[in-house]
Amino acid sequence: MKKISQIPKYERPREKLQMFGPRTLSDSELMAVLLGSGSARHGVLELSGRVLRMIDESRGRLELDKLLGVEGIGPAKAAIITAALEFGRRRIRPEGMKVVVPTHVLPIIQHFADRKQEHLLCVSLSGAGEVIACRVVTIGLVDRTQVHPREVFADPIIDRASAVIIAHNHPIGPLEPSDEDREITRTIKAAGKTLGIWLLDHIIFNKNGYYSFMEHDEMEAP
């Protein structure tokens, strides 16, 4: 991975933010701004990638001690990251956002479009159609060996959710679902029906667009 000094100035995270605003930065670039610098052995972009993966794997509940176990992350950087995550939870969390149609969740999942691996996400919804939480379920190839209903519904059960929307990014290739995507959708929908938690939609997305199972009449109405 390139070091900051090897990247044109206008493409460096901090300068890019100043020139074009924070919305133009990927999650990895935003994390690089928070970190400020790398270490003697690891560039800031490499460190930001490692931290970002830890955040995804921890479903946003990354603890200070785990950060301190990353080579190149000291007490100051760890404190900045955990403080930023907590601030985000308090101020800009999506809880309470009203979802009238499933694609209304796109603004809270779209930032996963730049991930190099597939991330399966689950959005829990209340009976009033309000967002309770959005979480990463699995990282890696989204297939039947990894995606099990118990992993998808573990948190929504605790949330007392009435419905869920699942989504996953396609780093490469077309947005159209594969046969396996459809099989996963059927399996999760059937499990949700048994649990009393309705699967409203499965959304496949990338930086350029999305595919909604519901919009293509591939989901039953609740």
Query: Tens digit of pLDDT for each residue in 143-155?
Result: 555 788 999 999 9
CA distances from 24 to 90, 172, 190 (A): 23, 20, 39
CA distance 176 to 115: 18
Confidence of residue 85 (pLDDT cuts 50, 70, 90): confident
For the chain, list the strands marked E by DSSP: 119-125, 131-139, 163-169, 198-205, 210-212
Two tokens, residue 190: 């059937």
Neighbours of 140 (CB within 10 A): 11
For 40-178, list the strands marked E by DSSP: 119-125, 131-139, 163-169
Q: What stretch of H or E contains 50?
A: helix 44-57
**Parallel, antiparallel, or unpaired for β 163-169 and 131-139?**
unpaired
Give, to the nearest 10 degrees, the angle between helix 13-20 and helix 27-35. 110
Q: What is the pLDDT of residue 39?
A: 77
Confidence of residue 92 (pLDDT cuts 50, 70, 90): low
Query: Tens digit of pLDDT for each residue in 102-112?
Result: 999 998 898 89
What residue ranges do the domains of the chain occupy? 4-91, 102-212
Q: What is the CATH number of domain 102-212?
A: 3.40.140.10
Mean pLDDT for the stretch of residues 1-22: 80
Mean pLDDT for the stretch of residues 123-147: 84
90 or 98: which leads in pLDDT? 98
Q: What is the pLDDT of residue 140?
A: 81
CA distances from 107 to 104, 142, 180, 207, 210 (A): 7, 21, 26, 12, 12
